[in-house]
Amino acid sequence: MSQHPPVVRLLLLAAAAIVAGTAVTHAQAPAALPLGKTAAGQVTSRAATVYRFTAQAAGVLTVAVHAESDVTLTVTDQDGQALPEGSSDRDLYGSGGNEQVSVTLPEGGEYRVQVALLDGSSSKFEIGAGWVAMPAFARASDPDRRPTLGAALDIGRSHEDKLDGDAGDNWDWFSITAKTSGTLTVILRSVNDDSPDLALELYTSDELAKPSVRSDDDLQGNTTNESATVDVKAGQKVYVKVMGASGNPTGSYRLASSLIQ
Ligand SMILES: [Ca+2]
Ligand SMILES: [Ca+2]
Ligand SMILES: [Ca+2]
């Protein structure tokens, strides 16, 4: 037996808390999403409760949750990025714990469903899902649909790109690696009158579930124009998400970055 069991126990509890705190993106083998039935779950304010779902083909996934407290429901890709129309905080029937989403999965593969708590420290819930494989809904895969698939950009060099919402290209991911520490600023600018209303998000490589900073400020009175700034260390990688601010984004934009030491 250990000579200091209370200390050992405390350390184990601390380690468990650290693991739980990072559970949103690094959960060990999340439970399978219950299909055609409901299952009981629990969520705490420390981390979302995550389920996994493997689609064999494109199709439609519907998920419903009923919780005692106010929760949100989100369907994400395997990097933890919400799918278009994949987030719900609708508070159905006037109850913050009732949420439902129905989302098109554009290709087979791994997906995640997250139940996150908005109110209080802990809540029990019921969750259930339905799946209809609909291979005809498959769309050409957006090559930079996830952060880890985006092109690497050089600081100081301007880059022109475009979105095409009808073709399933609702956002573009890029990465920028800082060679020195300093303040990294990324800006978006319109290319022409057809440039879409954009939002800009910056993520640090250790936290892909939520942005460090988001801009939808429509600078200079232009809905395309955005700017976001984040402090970086030497060698740090920052992921950049360019996305439609609303609806179905289609059109060209220009992106540039600068680093002030
Ligand atoms: Ca809610
Ligand atoms: Ca894209
Ligand atoms: Ca905007």
Whether the model pTM is above 0.85: no
What percentage of the chain reaches a pLDDT higher than 70?
Answer: 89
d(CA 224, ligand 3 centre) in Å: 5
222 contacts 39 by C-beta, under 8 angstroms: no
pLDDT mean over 35-47: 97
pLDDT mean over 215-219: 97
- Distance of alpha carbon 215 from alpha carbon 225, whole angstroms: 9
d(CA 251, ligand 3 centre) in Å: 13
- pLDDT (0 to 100) of residue 2: 43
pLDDT mean over 11-22: 43
Reported as a single tens digit per residue, the pLDDT across 46-100 is 999 999 999 999 999 999 999 999 999 999 988 888 888 899 999 999 999 999 9
- Distance of alpha carbon 45 from alpha carbon 40, whole angstroms: 17
| pLDDT confidence band for 28 (50 / 70 / 90) | low
Pick the CATH number of 30-137 from 1.10.10.10, 2.60.120.380, 2.102.10.10, 2.30.30.60: 2.60.120.380
Tell me the pLDDT of the chain averaged across its residues. Answer: 89
The domains of the chain are located at 30-137, 147-260
| pLDDT confidence band for 27 (50 / 70 / 90) | very low
d(CA 161, ligand 2 centre) in Å: 9
d(CA 83, ligand 3 centre) in Å: 19
List the beta strands (DSSP E) in 145-225. Answer: 151-153, 159-164, 171-177, 182-190, 198-204, 213-215
Given a cut of 60, is residue 7 above it in pLDDT? no
- pLDDT (0 to 100) of residue 17: 42
Torsion of CA 246, 166, 25, 32, to 10 degrees: 120
Burial of 115: CB neighbours in 10 Å, binned 0-12, 13-18, 19+: buried
Q: Please give the CATH topology (third level) of the domain spanning 147-260.
A: Jelly Rolls (2.60.120)
